């Protein structure tokens, strides 16, 4: 009994620490720079390495996002990731590739993830994760309408930098909460030029959700994603998805002061799921574009633990 009480107290302390971290880290957090996803609830691995292996199978995920369609130079993002447990108790590994294009700049990132999970109670698990990799950033001034072609500050730039990230992820079959930073390193470009310096800042992510079983054929999952970076307002994404007959997912999302979204997903087979999201801009920028489109495709190879009886909704 004492052991059970100690474990219970430990798990509650961890939950409290996660929320305290949110309170102190988020407000202390230049513009949002990391890739943005509406279907973040299916793409946790891209922002939190501790998620690697948590689904109990080899999970392969591809996401393509075309943001602000019709606006010249708008962001386009391709994300490919795979992760799996490896047979060593508690250990999960993952690989990720992200290609981002925004105006005259592009960034490609290749990363590897390591996670270690411990069981706190029967179904309560806590995972710790680390991410490492390489990012290559390119600026091509020929894609711009340059007033002065001899402007030194608009020269071709190609820079590579290391990526180091970390995260923690606490979850059960019904709920989850995670705190992470995909890259703790800050990188500057054009840093030998005194007139203008471009830089990437450390981003912090808090993600969480809860699954309500309304009846045997209907589950509802509200979720939230908070993103913070130094010098920018706190970004908040809220969503609610309904899983119908374990096959069809329909949902709505709201990005604070930015966009409203509609989401849909379909479990084609036990191993394959496809999803789509459409964003409508609620800012003045919405007058100059026709919205954002995002599609994803997920394959899961092997058998997840208890997957046939009680599939994870996240």
Q: d(Cα 52, Cα 91) in Å, to the nearest integer?
A: 9
Q: How far apart are CA 54 and CA 314, in angstroms?
A: 10
Question: Is the pLDDT assigned to residue 220 strictly greater than 60?
Answer: yes
CB atoms within 10 A of CB 73: 13
Q: What is the pLDDT of residue 92?
A: 96
249 is a domain residue: yes
* Pairwise pLDDT comparison (97 vs 155), residue with the higher score: 97
Angle at 92 between CA 120 and CA 210, to 5 degrees: 50
- Identify the bridge partners of residue 274 per DSSP, sorted by sequence position: 266, 297
Counting Cβ atoms within 10 Å, is residue 142 exposed (0-12), middle (13-18) or buried (19+)?
exposed
Look at residue 199 in the predicted model and tell me its pLDDT: 60
Distance separating alpha carbons of residues 113 and 132, to the nearest angstrom: 7
Distance CA 90, CA 129 (A): 11
313 in a structural domain = no
Task: Quote the CA–CA distance of 116 and 172 in Å, as a whole number.
Answer: 16
Asked if the model's pLDDT at residue 196 lies above 90, the reply is no
Cα distance between residue 247 and residue 263, in whole Å: 14
- Is residue 312, in this structure, part of any structural domain at all? no
Q: Report yes or no on whether pTM surpasses 0.85.
A: no
Per-residue tokens: 80: 């490919």
User: CA-based angle 290:294:295, to the nearest 5?
Assistant: 140
pLDDT digits (tens, 9 = 90+) for 251-305: 999 999 999 999 999 999 988 999 999 999 999 988 899 999 999 999 998 754 4
pLDDT category at 162 given cuts 50, 70, 90 is: very high
Please give the share of the chain, as a percent, with pLDDT higher than 70.
Answer: 79
Query: For all residues of the chain together, what is the average pLDDT?
Result: 83
Residues 6+ apart with CB under 8 A from 45: 51, 52, 59, 61, 81, 83, 94, 96, 113
pLDDT value at position 15? Answer: 42
**Cα distance between residue 110 and residue 113, in whole Å:** 10
Q: Which helix (H) or strand (E) holds 298?
A: strand 292-301
Q: Give the model's pLDDT for residue 136.
A: 92
Q: Is residue 38 part of a domain?
A: yes
For 88-143, write each residue's pLDDT tens digit.
989 999 999 999 998 888 899 999 999 999 999 888 999 999 999 999 988 887 77
Within-domain flag for 294:
yes
For residue 207, give both structure tokens.
């993600």
Quickly count: other Cβ atoms within 10 Å of residue 113's Cβ. Answer: 28
CA distance 44 to 81: 10
Domain assignment of residue 214, yes or no: yes
Task: Tell me, yes or no, whether 311 lies in a domain.
Answer: no
Q: Which CATH number does the domain housing residue 52 bear?
A: 2.40.160.40
Mean pLDDT computed over 161-182: 95
Domain tally, the chain: 1
Q: Name the residue range of residue 236's domain.
A: 2-301
| 306, part of any domain | no
Cβ 185 vs Cβ 161: under 8 Å: yes
């Amino acid at each position: 009994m004492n052991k059970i009480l100690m474990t219970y107290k430990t798990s509650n302390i961890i939950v409290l620490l996660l929320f305290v971290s949110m309170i102190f880290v988020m407000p202390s957090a230049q513009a949002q720079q990391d890739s943005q996803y509406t279907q973040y609830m299916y793409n946790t691995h891209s922002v939190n390495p501790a998620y690697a292996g948590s689904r109990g199978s080899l999970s392969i995920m591809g996401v393509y996002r075309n943001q602000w369609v019709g606006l010249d130079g708008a962001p386009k993002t391709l994300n490919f990731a795979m992760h799996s447990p490896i047979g060593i108790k508690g250990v999960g590994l993952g690989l990720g590739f992200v290609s981002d294009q925004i105006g005259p700049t592009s960034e490609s990132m290749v990363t590897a993830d390591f996670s270690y999970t411990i069981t706190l109670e029967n179904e309560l698990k806590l995972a710790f994760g680390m991410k490492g990799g390489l990012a290559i950033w390119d600026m091509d001034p020929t894609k711009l309408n340059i007033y002065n072609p001899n402007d030194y500050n608009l020269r071709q730039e190609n820079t590579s930098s290391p990526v180091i990230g970390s995260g923690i992820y606490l979850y059960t079959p019904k709920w989850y909460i995670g705190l992470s930073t995909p890259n703790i390193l800050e990188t500057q470009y054009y840093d030998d030029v005194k007139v203008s310096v471009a830089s990437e800042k450390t981003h912090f992510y808090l993600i969480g959700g809860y699954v309500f079983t309304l009846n045997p054929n209907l589950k509802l999952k509200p979720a939230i994603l908070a993103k913070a970076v130094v010098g920018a307002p706190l970004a908040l994404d809220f969503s609610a998805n309904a899983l119908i007959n374990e096959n069809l997912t329909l949902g709505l999302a709201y990005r604070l002061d930015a966009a409203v979204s509609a989401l849909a997903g379909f479990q084609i087979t036990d191993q394959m799921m496809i999803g789509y999201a459409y964003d409508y801009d609620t800012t003045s920028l919405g007058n100059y574009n026709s919205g954002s489109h995002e599609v994803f495709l997920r394959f899961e190879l092997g058998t997840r633990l208890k997957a046939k009886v009680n599939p994870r909704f996240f």
